[in-house]
Structure formats: C-alpha cells, structure tokens
Structure 1
Amino acid sequence: MTPRIHFTASQAAPARAALAVLAHRYGNAELSRAQVVVALGGDGFMLQTLHATQGRDLPVYGMNRGTVGFLMNSYSADDLPERLDAAEETVINPLRMRATCADGTCHAALAINEVSLLREGPQAAKLRIHVDGRMRMEELVCDGALIATPAGSTAYNYSAHGPILPIGSEVLALTAIAPFRPRRWRGALLPKAAEVVVEVLNPERRPVMADADSRSVRHVTRVQIQSASDIRHRLLFDSGHGLEERLLREQFV
C-alpha cells in the first residue's frame, strides 16, 4: 500500500522534473495529511526541508537531484513505496544557537549540521571558549571555530580537519578553523549535553559572525550552543545505506 507522500523539490531543473514524475505516479499529499516527506534536491535542500517540517514528527526521505547528496538516497522513480517500507530511520537532534550582538539584540536559530563563528574582516578572530560554565581556552586566534553534530561532521567540520563522528556517539565536535594560536590545536570532543559559550574578544576591531546552517547573525559578541534534545528529526535511508554506515564508509575513502 502506498503511504501518503508529500513531495517537495528544490528549484533545480532535475529536482523539478523529478517532482512532476513522482507526483503524477504516486500523488502528492498535503503536508498536513502526509505520512512521509520525500525531498528532491541536494543536502542543502534536505536541511531546508528538515527545518521546514520541524515539529510535525514526519520521517523525511531524500532523493538526490542536486550536486551533493550525503544525506540523500539515490534517485529512482520506481518502487518508491517498497523503498520507503524497507528504509532505516535515523533520529538526530539539532543544535540550538543563541547569539548576542554588539547592539544588545539576541538571535536564536537551530542548526542540524553545525554552528560556526567566522571572522568578518581582515583581522583574525579572537575567541574565548567556555564549556559547562568553565573556561577551557582563554584565547583562540583563528579564522573561526565551529561546533558540529555527528550528522554534520562530514560537512564543514570535516573540511576544517575535524573528526567524523559516529551517529550514535553522543558527542559534538569543536573544531578550529585555520587556528593561529594555539597553532597546533585540533579541537575537542565534547559530550552531547555540553553547553558551549564562545565570547568574542575585541569585537570592534575583530568582528565575528555566527552561522547556523547558513542562517547568519553579524557582529556577535557572545554565542551559546547546546544540543536541542527536545527537537528531533527523522531521516530515512535505503536499507544497508543508513547514516551510520555512510559515516563509517566516509573514513575509508
């Protein structure tokens, strides 16, 4: 029996074409009546879809019609109900970011992959790092730093030479981006429940922006990051190709 599927697609031509084919073959249920969401695009669109469907407790199954597809399954218009029925589910929690700006305003956002702090100008950023109320690094001079979830550890975190985290590891990666001092600092592994607070030192001369899954806040002075255990996202992957297997396989290429 075909479940009630809500199809959604990025604006890319291959994704829009796939949407037309799949909706014609399987129907396209309203989101309010759907039992599963099928997202057509790349990893960026998958993140958009997860944010857009937050709170509905619907599983999301992605099919790659974009340029990057680590969170996506291969595309095929055939046998979709059977693939959905056999799919493996992975539940992930996003990060909650609370950023305070130089003008005193506060901004909140959620990040499924990572929260990153990045220098805004030509001067290197100077950051002070606290973990669970205890100062762990008095001054990190760098282009930036990020806190990544296991699901996001193969994205920006991996490009910044951070570790790949097993999906069930219950840890977060704190990774420096082009560190100058301490020059050889490679970051830290933190408990998933840890509260990380990053202070920006000398923000007038060394402005810093905070970014949560591409939602940016400029001129921040203080950023608090913690796993949002009260929010969960359900991802579906083809049998034998789940997120845990993908993270493991990525370490041997």
Structure 2
Amino acid sequence: MEFRRLAFVAAEVPQARRALNRLAKIHGQSAPEDADVIVALGGDGLMLQTLHRFMSSGKAIYGMNRGSVGFLMNDYSEKGLRERIRAAELTMVRPLKMSAVDQSGSIHKAMAFNEVSFLRQTHQTASLRISIDGHVRLDELKCDGILLATPVGSTAYNLSAYGPILPINSPLLALTPISPFRPRRWRGAILPHQARVTIESLECEKRPVAVVADHVEVRHIRKVEIAEDRKRSARLLFDPGHSLAERVLAEQFRF
C-alpha cells in the first residue's frame, strides 16, 4: 500500500503542535476518514487516545515521539516519512473490555489497551475478591489495588507494580496486585487471554475503590468484569528493527 494520504494528529503540547504544522506543510494533511494512515505526534498518552479514537476504523497508526514517554512511538523525523511508513512492520493489538457496577447499581463500560486497574480511594486498604471464569480464586485480597494488563500494557503500570513482562504476541494477560498486604506472598497470576476476570469490593462503602481503564476512571465501584475484546483490534506500525515485540523483549534486559 502506498500510504499517499496522511492524517496527522497531535498532543496539546507545543513541540507536538509545531511538528504537526511542519509535517502537514511538507506532506499534506488529509481528513482522518479519508487517510490511508494516521500519524500520531506525542507520547504514549496521545497514542492511547489515538488507538481508542480509530480502533473501529481499521486504519493503521504510525506514531512519532513528541512527548515525554514514547514506548509506543517511533523516533521523530520529518524526512522520508512515507518511505518509513511503507517499510514499517505491523503489530495488531487487542483491547480489554470492562464492565463496572458502582454502589448505586449503575453500569459503566470502557476499553483499555494497556490495563484495567482497581485502586483504593482513601487511606483504607481495599478488600477484594478475585474470580476467574466464574470460580473464586482468592477469597480476600487486602491491598492498594490490582490490575489486569495486556502484553502492550505489561511494560507500563504493570511493570512498575512488579508484574511480569509479556511477549507482545503472547495469548496472555497479567493479573498483578498493587502493594498487597494480605496474603503478602501472592504476586499475581499469568492468565490465558480468553479468561474472564471478576473483581469484587467486599467493603465498598467502608473501603471505596475506583476502576481505571486507560484514561477512563469510575469511582465507588462494587464489582468489575474484564475480558479481552476479540472483536476489536488496532493496527500499529513500527520502524524495522524497532518493532513493539523487540522493545518488549529488550525491556526484560534493562536494569
């Protein structure tokens, strides 16, 4: 594919906006609905927003780093952009789908390409019950929270919480506790990608918790159900030798 029509989207920071203006003058600016590829200019936060915005369009997304963190981005350059895009390697990523019930009984749904995290709202630890595919696996977990991460998200918050890094094409999910207090020695689980995870707040009024799916937060949650969405995916493009699979592998050897 020639990728003749490019649509540039940028984060609301000066260096990203300047890059958008320069690249649009050099390469032209197409409307996103008419473009062959979306070029995202910013950091990983902007890339996540772009994935959510265009995941139903089927359009490939090529990111260039104009932000503070650029794990999901390619290096920035104004030269040879179409040639780089034509040579880029394709990675397909699937989101998690979340359905959360709050204390009033309202249902909130959201998608996450990185992780869905369950977090305490106050000074009190959260008290959680964990079920996998309808079977209770942990009767009570006292902790600051817990998260379920995709392979893409395994190098983000999950890694900071000492969760495992998952190879990008692996059919796995990482279930990782955040500052577990009891049981102290439980360090989480690696689950098959088709697993359905249910997390219940056992004392939701006394120990309120929030759930966050990428950039969507809902507070005062009673229960959340999470599963991989097998019907949706996004297409990411990476420069040869700097694929997302290579970056995830290399991250396991960093100190």
Q: In which range does the TM-score fall when normalised by the shorter chain?
A: over 0.9
1:153–1:162 CA contact under 8 A, matched in 2: yes
> Which residue in 2 is equivalent to 1:78?
79
Q: Could you tell me how far apart the structure 1 residues matched to 2:201 and 2:234 are?
A: 31
Aligned residues: 253
Q: Look up the equivalent residue of 1:3 and give its one-letter code.
A: R
Aligned to 2:35: 34
Give how far 1:2 is off: 5.5
**For 1:51 and 1:93, how far apart are their aligned partners in 2?**
11
Given that 1:63 and 1:75 are in contact with CA atoms closer than 8 Å, whether structure 2 keeps it comes out as yes
Give 1:240 shift.
Answer: 1.1
Name the SS for the 1:246 alignment partner: helix
Which structure 1 residue ranges, 4+ long, deviate > 6 Å from structure 2?
Answer: none
Please tell me whether the aligned partners of residues 131 and 138 of structure 2 are also in contact (alpha carbons under 8 angstroms): yes
Structure-1-length-normalised TM-score: 0.99
Separation in 1, partners of 2:200, 2:64: 39
TM-score by length of 2: 0.98
What letter corresponds to residue 106 of structure 1 in structure 2?
I
Alignment-derived partner of residue 179 in structure 1: 180
Cα offset, 1:214, TM superposition: 2.0
Taking the aligned partners of 1:177 and 1:118, their CA distance within structure 2 comes to: 8
1:193 and 1:250 map into 2 onto residues whose CA distance is 25
Identity rate, percent: 55
- In the other structure, the counterpart of 2:216 is 215
In the aligned structure 2, how far is the partner of 1:184 from the partner of 1:17?
49
Q: How far 1:169 moved relative to its partner? A: 1.1
Shift of 1:107: 0.3
The match for 1:138 is 139
SS in 2 for 1:135: strand
1:160 alignment partner in structure 2 = 161
Measure, in 2, the Cα distance between the counterparts of 1:185 and 1:202: 21
1:21 is paired with a residue whose SS is: helix
Give the whole-Å Cα distance in 2 for the aligned partners of 1:105 and 1:159.
31
1:112-151 counterparts in 2 under 5 A? 112-151=113-152
Output the CA distance in 2 between the equivalents of 1:166 and 1:93.
Answer: 14
What is the letter of the counterpart of residue 98 of structure 2?
Answer: M
Q: Which runs of 5+ in 1 are unaligned?
A: none
1:215 deviates by 0.6
Quick check: 2:3–2:37 contact (8 Å CA) kept in 1?
no
**2:229 maps to amino acid:** A
Distance in 2 between residues matched to 1:21 and 1:210, nearest whole Å: 39
